[in-house]
Structure 1
Amino acid sequence: MTQNMLSLEWIDEREDGAGAREEAWMELLEKLLRIAGDKEDVPRGIVTLTLTDDEGIRELNRQFRGLDKPTDVLSFSMLEGEEADINFDDEYEVIESEDSEEVGSTADPFADMLGDIVISVPRAEAQAEEYGHSFERELGFLFVHGFLHLLGYDHDDEEQEREMFAKQEEVLKEAGLTR
C-alpha cells in the first residue's frame, strides 16, 4: 500500500452550520478517504466536500441536470477523461467536468484537485433510517460512492454496479461501518 497525501476540504452550507457532531464526521470521512485512496492507488489529491440541505442540492440538480428535485449525493470530477460529459442516474449522480484548457503542469493551482462531492445531510439521515443502519454508515457510503465517481467509476450496467458497490463495501468494512 502506498502512503497517500490525500486531503479533504469541507464546507457546511446548512443554516445550522458545523458543530461538534460534524467535526466527528470529518474525522470519519478523512479516514475513509485514506482507505479508499490506498485501495485505488491514489497517492495525492484534494477532495472538496460540501454538506448541504435538500434545497441546496436541489438547486445544483436544477442548475446542472435540469431536474427540479433533491438527491443524496452529487460528484463533480476535475479529472479529465476520454469522455468528458455529464453522467448521472436516478439514485446516485455524478457530473463530470467539461473539457477545459490545460495549464502548465507546475503552474496549475488545480492540478491536485480531484473534484467536489456534495451531500444532502437531511437526505442521508432519512436514508439511514430507511435502510436501518447508522447515519455515519450512510454518510460514509455516500462519500465513498462520490469519491469513486470522481475517479471515473460508474454503475451504468450490472457489472459496473457490482464492481463499484463491492469497492465501496470493502472500504466501509475496513473502516468498521458495517450494516
Structure 2
Amino acid sequence: MGLQLAWNNEQTKMEIDQTLIDLLERLLQKAGESEGVNDGEVALTFVDDEAIHELNRDYRGIDRPTDVLSFAMNETLDEEPEIIYELEEDEELDDLTDVLGDIIISVDRAKAQSEEYGHSLEREIGFLFVHGFLHLLGYDHQDAESEAEMMGKQEAVLAQVGLTR
C-alpha cells in the first residue's frame, strides 16, 4: 500500500494547487522513511481560523485558533470522544486499520506565521504537516527535551526536500 495522503480543502482563502500537494506527499514519504513507517493513510484538511478554533475548543478545551491539530487513529485517551464508524457495503474493517489519522491545518495561521518567521508559506505548511504527522506517531512536545527531539526530526525532513529557513 505505501504511505498515502488524502486531502480536503474546506477553506476559500487560499488555492490549494497540485504543486503544494506534491510537496506534502514528498514530505510524507520522507517523514515516513525517517520513522520507519511504510504504510498507512494520512487525511489532511485545510481550514480557516474559524473552523480550527471550533475544533480546538471542542476537542482540546482551548478556546482559540491554533495552527495545526492532529487526531491519531491509535490514540485511546480517556477524554477523547469515542468514534463509531459504520462500514459501507464495499468496505472491510481491514481497510480502516491503515489510517494513521487526521491532520488539520489552518491556512490563516500558516500565512500569518510564515510572515512572522520570514519564510515561505510552503515551508510553513510543510512544517505544520510534518509536525502533525509526528503527533500521529505519538511524538509530543510537553517538555524541552521532547520539543527539541521533535523539532530536530521536523527540520531534518524539511531539509531533505529543500524547505530550510
Structure 2 counterpart of 1:139, which letter?
A: I
Give the alignment's TM-score, normalised by structure 2. 0.88
CA distance in 2, matches of 1:58, 1:114: 23
Q: Secondary structure at the match of 2:140?
A: coil
Answering whether residue 6 of structure 2 is matched by residue 9 of structure 1, we say yes
Q: 1:158, CA displacement in angstroms? A: 1.0
The count of corresponding residues between Structure 1 and Structure 2 is 158
Structure 2 counterpart of 1:13, which letter?
A: E
Q: Secondary structure at the match of 1:109?
A: helix
Structure 2 counterpart of 1:85, which letter?
A: L
Higher helix share: 2
User: Which position in structure 2 is the counterpart of 1:85?
Assistant: 77
CA distance in 2, matches of 1:107, 1:131: 43
Q: 1:173, CA displacement in angstroms? A: 0.4
Residue ranges of structure 2 left out of the alignment (5+ in a row): 85-91
Q: 1:69, CA displacement in angstroms? A: 1.1
> Aligned to 1:68, which of 54, 63, 74?
63
CA deviation vs aligned residue, 1:9-68 (integer Å, no higher than 9, x gap): 001001357x4x532110110000000001100010000000000001011012112222
The answer to whether the 8 A contact 1:61-1:70 is kept is yes
The answer to whether the 8 A contact 1:78-1:97 is kept is no
- For residues 17-166 of structure 1, the aligned pairs below 5 Å read 19=15, 21-80=16-75, 84-85=76-77, 107-166=93-152
Give the alignment's TM-score, normalised by structure 1. 0.81
CA deviation vs aligned residue, 1:124-149 (integer Å, no higher than 9, x gap): 01000000111111000000000000
Give me the CA root mean square deviation. Answer: 2.1
Structure 2 counterpart of 1:71, which letter?
A: T
Q: Which runs of 4+ in 1 moved over 3 A?
A: 96-101
Q: Secondary structure at the match of 2:17?
A: helix
Residue ranges of structure 1 left out of the alignment (5+ in a row): 87-95
CA distance in 2, matches of 1:38, 1:159: 23
